[in-house]
Structure 1
Amino acid sequence: MIHLKTKEEIELMRKSALLVSKTLGLMAELLEPGISSLELDKKAEEFIRDNGGVPGFLGMYDFPNTLCMSPNEQVVHGYPSNEPLKEGDIISIDCGVLMNGFYGDHAYTFTVGEVKPEIEKLLKVTKESLYLGIEQCKAGNRTGDIGFAIQQHAEKNGYGVVRELVGHGLGRDMHEAPEVPNFGKRGRGVKLKEGMVLAIEPMINLGGRGIRQLADGWSIITADGKYSAHFEHDVAIVDGKPDILSTFDYVEEALTKKGVAI
């Protein structure tokens, strides 16, 4: 069942989404070669609680941490470890927050130091595909319009679009209907309506689209071992148009201060 939100509820969701955005901004400040993803996870939990939220992922489906931390060939659902991040790595940081009875769910893929130009391009194209998908998040369109826009941009650049993992509705539950695939055909899928809130999240692979799950029961990696990128925004349909509740501004401000190209 799809739960449509009032404008008042959407404003509460914006607060949840923005706390996630600020948490990702903190991660951008702290991220550097030599730090472990577990250290970042602890800082994120502390920050979320200090700002009136509850970590949305911690304990959900028995997940043991605040952040999903997925480096390099890991697509999503990686969990933090004590292994130091190193120059040339990338890492997708996916964060959820519960506040005011509503969830925020938001992700960004970071570079760790200098990375190869082909990796920089993967991140750039994945982020572009996210915004192209968001442009289609209008009342009267369908989920297939979002997926088509994402898929077309990724595949024309030679990348693989993950099929088995998709975006989703968001609200009082972390995962609500409808599913929002990152592939599809125009005019197909669930019709989009005023008051829907969607987590749109392209997962794009440098190589083929195939994936597999590690023995830890959580981490999803590319089947060919090539890098994968993941960006996510929370988007409401307000007055028939997309309204992005989350923001990359805090991340980009932190990266700019560090002299990192965005």
Structure 2
Amino acid sequence: MASVFSGRAGRLAGIWAADQAQNNYNQQQGTLAEGRDNSLSAIDSGRTSSLAALGQGYGAAVPEYQAAIDRFNPWTEAGKSALTTYQNSLGQNGTEGNAAAVAQFQASPGYQYQVDQATDAVARKASALGALGSGNTMQAITDRAANLANQEYGGWQDRLNGLSNTGLQATGQQAGIQQGLGNLYAQQGRDQSNVYTNAAGQEAGIYTGYANSNASALGNLGQTIIGAGTGALMAGQTAAQNRLNFGMGLANLGASLFGSAMGAKKVA
């Protein structure tokens, strides 16, 4: 049994309280660390799933944009070819280019048909007059072909220009779709950035909460240990005071007994 003069019980109680506080703190640390790790794992899993979903969605959209662009290719290619021929017909690409345009014009089915019809008409008329092989007939055929070429060449150029403009419009449509595709990629980048930013904010919040909880637990541990130490100190001081009081009491008792003995001796 602990003596009131030793303070041992108080010291033991203080040590036990400090040990309990340390054990509680260790358990809290384990719980906090587990919660932190689970939360971080959930955030990482969510970030991975979000990025995968974004990639899948945007990945499915990109081919659709490209398919829409490709649908205009026949018109853009035809317009590009028509523009080159039109420029050749205007002489913008030199004499060789112009000669190529004239040859292409003369080889067109519509032009050749009209020339054949016109020259046949001249030949039939000359034949009816008995002058099919004459120089005048040959000159008339040549003149008719030349006049027809002059009349038709401008119309042919207009058709080339029209086809070129059709290609230009198709190119504009492709450019618009291409811009939409570019915007899609930009939006994908922003969405991915938002996923990373949100996840980083959540992780920062978890670390901040963990640090605050840890600091609070440390503070509570410190207060408990201080309280236990103070209690143990007070127990020791109380025991010391008890010993002092007991000693003073014995001294007073001894003095009283000594005084009584001396008084009795004088009387005797």
**TM-score grouping bracket, smaller chain normalisation:** under 0.3
More strand by share: 1
**TM-score, normalised by the number of residues in structure 2:** 0.19
Does 1 or 2 have the higher relative contact order (CA < 8 Å, sep 6+)?
2
Structure having the higher Rg: 2
TM normalised by structure 1 equals: 0.19
Task: Name the one with the larger helix percent.
Answer: 2
